[in-house]
Structure 1
Amino acid sequence: MMYRLFRYGLDSEAGASTMAALNHIHSRWRVSSDAFRYVLACFGIAPMRWCDTYAWRPVTEAEKEASHVFYLGLAERMDIRDVPPTWGEFARWTDHFEQSRFAATSEAGEVWAATRCLLVNRFPSPLAPLIRTAADALLDEPLRQACGARRTPRVVRTLVASGMRLRAQRIRRAHSRPDYRPVLPPSVRDSV
């Protein structure tokens, strides 16, 4: 659903029908405003921070603010109130929310186990123990504790972070070549 909103926009016919479906799905549960804002932050703040750390280049302030404008529009259409007006303020709100609310629960452990399983299943089965450990190393400390993930040895965390940064450098070099043409999935390629 999010990809439909990204591709067609919030105000398109496809965007309006997607928004109606999202609102219908979420109307079944009583969710606090803070929880809705935090989920919005998981879409709008967390990916930008990930890119700043592991992508081939950091996200610009203009890109962060443009993303935030999109999520402000999404919040308005879902009646999510009191979203901070700038990306930076929303990032600070998110940090405070996590510091005050993160706690280890069995449900968080189940969510992380399922997520880790998705990652592990993308690789040949003999690599499963290595991928599980690498996945745990990608979590920051507060999230690791909340999910009940094992603390990986420092050397593993360093190797995983270094591997992600090497990947980013390789992509950055490819992007700087004049003949570079990204390989896009068919759904994206068809819309360009």
Structure 2
Amino acid sequence: MNPPPPRDAFAALVLHRRPQRARVGLSLGFVRTFAVPEIAEVLSGTGKLAATPKARAKATGAMMFALIGHGVESPAGREIVAELAAMHRIPGVDEELMRYVLACFTVCPVEFAAGTPAEREAAAAFATDLAAALRLPPPPGPTLAETAAWMREFETARFAPSEAGRALWHAVAPLFAARLPGPLARHAPAFAAALLDAPLRDAFTLPRPPLPLRAAARLAFHLTH
């Protein structure tokens, strides 16, 4: 069997090889944006995410997975790009914020799903295509590792506690239950918090979960395919 074309390897990872892990990673990427006060204010401004977190998070995931699956230049992809471009026109959403959101939605699924070098290369190519379609500057560096490094620098400069960010986190944390084995679903907020790194916990003013819970959370979410 011939290997998939380079850009298709990213779609194969998130849609077929490890879709559940990729969805957890995408959810964590979404959550990362809440730690940037400017983004949190925009997301909370409509009230839709806090009021209907399951529907909004599901819609965001469906949009990104459809874009990854169909491609940026497909008819479906162009419709989604138009929706994303409309977000760019919201007051307060500048180019750097949009680049950060796109980086989160590309880097986080691949990292959580432990993508191969080929899949990471494909994800970087997808991010470049999407940035071009949105008329944004290309992601920093040609590799996903360089984009991830830029993300960390951005987060060091821009992460900060905010009421909007904390409210959004508490609204979406229960949604991680869908990614947990049945008996653990009722503990979804605690398990989800255990997946957060120190900068995110600081932004949401969450205590550091004990080591056994952090280890159990990683195991529980990585048991999914």
Partner of 1:62: 118
Pairwise CA distance, 1:99 = 1.6
Give the corresponding residue for 1:184.
none
Q: How far apart, CA to CA, are the structure 1 residues paired with 2:139 and 2:184?
A: 45
> Is the CA contact 2:67–2:77 (under 8 Å) kept in the aligned structure 1?
yes
**CA distance, structure 1, for counterparts of residue 152 and residue 103 of structure 2:** 10
Distance 1:9 1:82, change over 3 A: closer
Q: Which residue of 1 aligns with 2:22?
A: none
Relative to structure 1, the CA distance from residue 98 to residue 163 in structure 2 (aligned partners, 3 Å threshold; closer, same or farther) is same
Alignment equivalent of 1:102, drawn from 135, 159, 164? 159
The 5-angstrom pairing of residues 103-122 of structure 1 reads 103-120=160-177
Q: Give me the TM-score of the superposition, normalised by structure 2.
A: 0.63
Q: How many angstroms does 1:77 deviate by?
A: 1.0
Tell me the secondary structure at the aligned position of residue 73 of structure 2: coil
Contact kept? 2:128, 2:138, Cα under 8 Å: no
Tell me what 2:190 maps to.
133
Please list, as runs of the form range in 1=range in 2, the aligned pairs for 1:4-153 lying within 5 A after superposition.
4-52=66-114, 59-84=115-140, 85-120=142-177, 128=186, 130-153=187-210
Structure 1 residue 10: Cα displacement? 1.4
Relative contact order (C-alpha < 8 Å, sep 6+): which is higher? 2
Structure 2: gaps (5+ residues): 1-62
Moved beyond 4 Å, runs of 4+:
120-127
Deviations 1:21-69 (A, max 9, x none): 32234323331222111101111111112122xxxxxx11111111111
Q: Aligned-pair RMSD on alpha carbons?
A: 2.5
Contact 1:144 1:150 in 2 (8 A): yes
Within 5 Å, give how 1:151-162 maps onto structure 2. 151-162=208-219
Structure possessing the higher radius of gyration over alpha carbons: 1
AA aligned to 1:79 is: R
After superposition, the C-alpha distances for 1:70-128 in whole angstroms (9 at most, x for unaligned) are: 11111111112142132121111111111222111111111110111323588889963
Question: In the TM superposition, what is the alpha-carbon distance from 1:20 to its structure 2 partner?
Answer: 2.1
Identical columns (%): 34
Q: Give the partner amino acid of 1:12.
A: S
Give the number of equivalent residue pairs. 161
- State the distance in 2 between where 1:159 and 1:33 align: 38
Contact 1:102–1:146 (Cα < 8 Å) also in 2? yes
TM-score when scaled to structure 1? Answer: 0.73
